[in-house]
Amino acid sequence: MSDVKTRPPEAAKRGRPRLDELTTSDLESIPALETIIGYRLRRAQLYVFQDFIESFTRMKLRPAEFSVLSVMARRPGLKQTEIAEELGIKRANFVALMDSLERRGLAERRKADTDKRSHSLHLTPEGVKFVRKMMAVWTAHEERLVEKLGGPEERDRLIELLDRIVARD
Amino acid sequence: MSDVKTRPPEAAKRGRPRLDELTTSDLESIPALETIIGYRLRRAQLYVFQDFIESFTRMKLRPAEFSVLSVMARRPGLKQTEIAEELGIKRANFVALMDSLERRGLAERRKADTDKRSHSLHLTPEGVKFVRKMMAVWTAHEERLVEKLGGPEERDRLIELLDRIVARD
DNA sequence: ATCGAATTGTTATGATACAGAACAATTAAA
DNA sequence: TTTAATTGTTCTGTATCATAACAATTCGAT
């Protein structure tokens, strides 16, 4: 009662493939997105970041900020550009990020006396305390992931494979 | 000649850790970013997308558009919302994306006669040809990645691990 | 020691990705 | 039939990311 144009009857039920497009015979060999590395990688990364973000909403901390605080905790005194480059953040975009951490009293820029252009970056005492809490939250998040993966060995396997992708040679 | 303030001499050389922050004794136990799943996942995903994007600049095709064309090729006739949801794209943001594909003559919205609200999405004949070329480019990209991973078995291992992460249960 | 080139932090700007609210047309449910 | 839900859409806001330009400073080659 609704089909006005002539058309194979089974094609009328929407949701069924219409084969009259121009035969998609060879297009049947198109890989499903499920088999595409980049697609799966992205979905997994989105999932992990989602969990991470939710874990840190209460602390008002975003992934990039987490990474910066981590580096400052382990290697205080690095210059802005050094940290930015290591984390793959453009130094132009690093400024606002560092401004925010400084405004919150978690980190500070110190004028380096050997090079008046650069700033060396450090956690404040308050920042140190913050990082301790941050790491506790992170540990819970990470353990959740390791469990989903099936144990620490699987985590290591995953990281090793990811390494191969990103290794430049 | 440059050190004005009293300070341990070795700390004067920038780049060396200053331990006078408030002892970071226990902070030494902070995990390096290299051991953090989310961080490694993100870096790997960025790398793969970078390669993908470069591969498709000539065709002026972005990852999201690739994924939409893929789905339309394999399962023509799906509604906008169905594709968007499957790909994790908000239907609001899907509109411009589909507009673009339609303007380029690669895809089209057909008014579904059973539900006047919805559109069923299809490749145009030109879109079919485009997808063939697209898949050739994609194959080269994917083979590059598989080689870096060390073979198809490693690719499968990776995908399986990524699956575990994103599997909801 | 000087002059041109490179570096550092910064600002400004634009492109893109992503999320939420609201709305009209239409369909489904009560 | 009235009410509620769905579909596509527009609008808007925010976060992310890249690029260009600039002043202050340092470095390098003479």
CA dihedral B56, B60, B61, B62 (to 10 degrees): 90
CB atoms inside a 10 Å sphere around CB B79? 19
Q: Is the pLDDT of residue A16 over 80?
A: no
How confident is the model over A113-132, as a mean pLDDT?
Answer: 93
The pLDDT, as a whole number, for residue A5 is 37
Three-state DSSP class for A78? coil
Helix (H) or strand (E) holding B114: none
Tens of pLDDT, residue by residue, chain B (169 residues)? 333 333 444 434 444 444 445 555 566 678 889 889 999 999 999 999 999 999 999 999 999 999 999 999 999 999 999 999 999 999 999 999 999 999 999 999 998 778 999 999 999 999 999 999 999 999 999 999 999 999 999 999 999 999 999 998 7
| A60-80 residues labelled b (16+ CB within 10 A) or e (exposed) | ebbeebbbbbbbbbbbbbbbb
Residue A4: pLDDT band with limits 50, 70, 90:
very low
Q: Is the CB of residue B30 less than 8 Å from the CB of residue A73?
A: yes
CATH number of A33-166: 1.10.10.10
Bridge-based pairing state of the strands A119-123 and B119-123: unpaired
- The domain locations on chain B are 35-166
The set of strand D positions with any atom below 7 Å of a protein CB reads 6-12, 15-21, 24-27
Q: By the CB < 8 Å criterion, does A95 face chain B?
A: no
Higher pLDDT, A14 or B92: B92
pLDDT, chain A, mean = 87
Structural fold of domain B35-166: Arc Repressor Mutant, subunit A (1.10.10)
List A residues 18-77 in contact with B (Cβ-Cβ < 8 A). 18, 21-22, 24, 26-28, 30-33, 35-49, 52, 63, 67, 70-71, 73-77
Here the tokens at position A127 are: 């920042």
